[in-house]
């Protein structure tokens, strides 16, 4: 089949082919003048023993089916993922 025929049929069915190297558009752009919450730990995590201080982070990753959200809990002393 010709490429244009495949394109027309996929468009009629509401389908889209995979595109390699596509630039992702982020949805969050903080305003430079926006008020920021206070940094409660001052970026200083003085953990002297395991399980004393845990920090967490979450992010999202693109998959073929859409986006998935991932959360990490990290022990600040061991610097290992605990959950």
Global model pTM greater than 0.75: no
Strand-by-strand arrangement of the 66-75 sheet: 54-63, 66-75, 80-81
For each of the chain's 83 residues, which pLDDT tens digit applies? 898 898 899 999 999 887 777 666 777 777 888 888 887 767 776 788 988 888 888 888 888 888 899 898 998 888 888 88
Say how far apart CA 17 and CA 12 lie, in whole Å: 13
DSSP code of 17? -
């Amino acid at each position: 089949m010709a490429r244009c025929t495949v394109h027309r049929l996929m468009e009629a069915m509401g389908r889209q082919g995979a595109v390699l190297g596509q630039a992702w558009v982020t949805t969050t752009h903080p305003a430079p003048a926006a008020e920021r919450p206070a940094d409660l730990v001052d970026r200083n995590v003085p953990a002297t023993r395991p399980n004393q201080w845990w920090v967490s982070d979450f992010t999202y990753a693109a998959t073929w089916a859409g986006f998935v959200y991932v959360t990490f809990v990290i022990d600040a002393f061991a610097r290992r993922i605990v959950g």
